A = this chain, B = another copy of it.
Amino acid sequence: MLLSKSCVYGLRAALYLAAKRDGSYYSIRTMSEELDISFHFLTKILQQLTADSLLESYKGPNGGVRLSAKGKKSTLFDLVIAIDGPGLFTECALGLPGCGSEEPCPLHNSWIDTRASIENMLKRTNLTKIAEEGKEKHFRLTADGHFSWS
C-alpha cells in the first residue's frame, strides 16, 4: 500500500473540506458519516493536521474544522508528509540505509525517478485548485458515490 489508511482518511477529509469552498467549520461527526470513516479515528488524524496548522478547529456548538490559509495553499504532498512522514520520499526501496549513487542497491537508479514521479503527482496542485477541478469533474471521495462536490 502506497499510503497508510490514516493518510488516506486524512486526504479524503481535507479534500472534503476543500470541496466546501466556504470557509465555515464542518463537524468531524458529519464528515465521518459522509465519508464513512470512524469518527474517533478521524478525529485523531485531523488533530495531527490541526497541530501542523493545515487545519483550524473550533470547539463547541457549530464548531468543527476548516482549512487554514496554509491548508488551502497546501498540496497533497504536504498532507502526506504531515501524516505518514517523509519516509516514502527519502528511503531506499529495499530499505537499505546508506543506499545512494555511490553504493546503489539494484533498484536505486530506477527508484529515485519513480519516487520523484510520485512526489510530483502529489505536489502538482494545491487543495484550492483540486477543489475547482473537482467541481467540474465531480470527483468521488466515497466508495458509494454518496459524497457530492458542491
Residues of A within 8 A of B (CB): 1-3, 5, 8, 11-12, 15, 76, 87-88, 91, 93-99, 103-108, 110-111, 113-114, 117-118, 121, 124, 130, 133-134, 137-143, 145
From B2, B11, B114, B138, contact of A121 by CB (8 A): B114
User: Can you name 9 A-B residue pairings with CB atoms under 8 Å?
Assistant: A2-B2, A2-B93, A8-B94, A11-B94, A104-B139, A105-B140, A110-B124, A113-B121, A117-B117
**Nearest Cβ distance between residue A144 and chain B, in whole angstroms?**
8
A103–B143 Cα gap in the complex (Å)?
A: 10
Contacts of A130 in B (CB 8 A): 106
Identical copies of this chain, number: 2
A95 and B140 contacting across the interface, CB-CB below 8 Å: no
Known A-B contacts: A1-B88, A2-B2. Give 10 more (CB < 8 A). Answer: A3-B93, A96-B140, A98-B143, A98-B145, A103-B140, A103-B145, A105-B139, A108-B139, A113-B121, A114-B114
Given A88-B2, A143-B97, decide whether A118 and B114 contact each other with a Cβ distance below 8 A.
yes
A53–B113 Cα gap in the complex (Å)?
A: 31
